[in-house]
Amino acid sequence: MQRAPYSVSKGVKIGVLGGIVGSIVLGLFAELASATMSQEVFYVTIAKKLGLGDASIIGGWTMHFIVGLVAGAVFIGVTAQVKIFTLTNTRKALWVGVLAGIAIWIIVYVPVTWLLVPADLTSTMFAVGSLILHMVYGIVTALVALAVLRKSKTVITEKASLASGKS
């Protein structure tokens, strides 16, 4: 089995960054969609259900970022371990990101929603919209990770060239 061009630990670290950026993008789209539908943002509702009270917007965003960075770390860490998912080019990052978004939606979003806000799963528009937003999260996370991996590879190559006396 051929090794990925990056380690699992490097994938986890880069995945944290990608996950935060993906969470920002998903969160902003969720805010826009919620405002359009005159609804409370999902993660704010969850924060209230978990008893975070008056700080629900701050608690909701904090919870959203924590889940996003953990999911990003696991996602990109897995891409280093499973060759078929290794991020090597933009096209691959796009389809791997879509798959990761679907997996995160199924593994995290659906169970949490089923437990705390089950009515949201009965709304086709809400369920499909959240699935699409999670696919966007996966794509953004993968593209950010790929960009950082490419940048770090360039830096490593440049350092190696300088060390060997080549310019």
Q: Is residue 1 part of a domain?
A: no
Q: Is residue 3 part of a domain?
A: no
CA distances to 5, 41, 103 from 135, rounded to whole Å, are 25, 18, 9
Q: Is residue 152 part of a domain?
A: yes
Q: Are 102 and 24 in contact (CB under 8 A)?
A: no
pLDDT digits (tens, 9 = 90+) for 110-152: 999 898 888 877 888 888 999 999 999 999 999 999 999 998 8
Q: Is residue 111 part of a domain?
A: yes
Q: Is residue 48 part of a domain?
A: yes
> Tell me, what's the pLDDT at 56?
63
pLDDT digits (tens, 9 = 90+) for 93-115: 999 999 999 999 999 999 998 98
The Cα–Cα gap between 167 and 165 comes to: 7
Prediction pTM value? 0.86
Q: Is residue 31 part of a domain?
A: yes
Domain assignment of residue 14, given as a range: 8-164
Number of domains observed in the structure of the chain: 1
